[in-house]
Amino acid sequence: MRLVIASNNEHKIREIKEILGGFFDDVVSMREAGINIDVEEDGKTFLENAKKKAFEIHKLLPNDAVLADDSGLVVDALNGAPGVLSARFALDGHNDKANNEKLLGHMKGVPTEKRTARFVCAAVLYESDGSCLTSQGTVQGRILETERGSNGFGYDPLFLYEPEGKTFAELSAEVKNEISHRRKALSAMFDVLNSHK
């Protein structure tokens, strides 16, 4: 069975191939599968968005398995915001600088102990028989008052990963990928597939 990943992000596809490739005959991107659609992410949760993406593509490719994920930042002091709006927190488009500035503005005056946050990733896999498998991964951290580091993207410069004492933007790509929320969600999906087979 072929696995189609609801993404054209090469890094994401490589990571998924590494973790889940053994379960499938082939792993391809949306582009490689000849799919060019933009599914509106209007769900209230990461899981709803991932499910919708996977389902819409699975309708077009019913003989393939389809994997989609959705992820973002959940800040406790902001009642879970930016959440599913993480990519477009400040504006309609994806603008990391504006998003980080808006987050810092909302967090002004919040004491250190109340700056807890987590990155969350939900993954959904529709198999060719129509069964739907789900998994989730989270990484706990804290929101800093100023950006640190130049690696990564999005909220990485503000997200302190306390076991390393560094922000996600200060970690090497190798270290971040080992501990990331996506890695955890994919590892959990590996376990789900293992028990499902």
Closest by Cα among 166, 155, 144 to 97: 155
Give 182-194 pLDDT, tens digit per residue: 999 999 999 999 9
Residue in 174, 176, 184 with CA at minimum distance from that of residue 160: 176
Report in angstroms the alpha-carbon separations of 75 from 27, 118, 120, 184.
34, 7, 11, 19
197 pLDDT above the threshold of 70? no
pLDDT of residue 41: 87
40 touches 17 (CB < 8 A): no
Catalytic: 25?
no
Query: Which listed residue (64, 70, 96, 129) is catalytic?
Result: 70
pTM of the model: 0.92
Q: Inform me whether the pLDDT recorded for 177 exceeds 90.
A: no
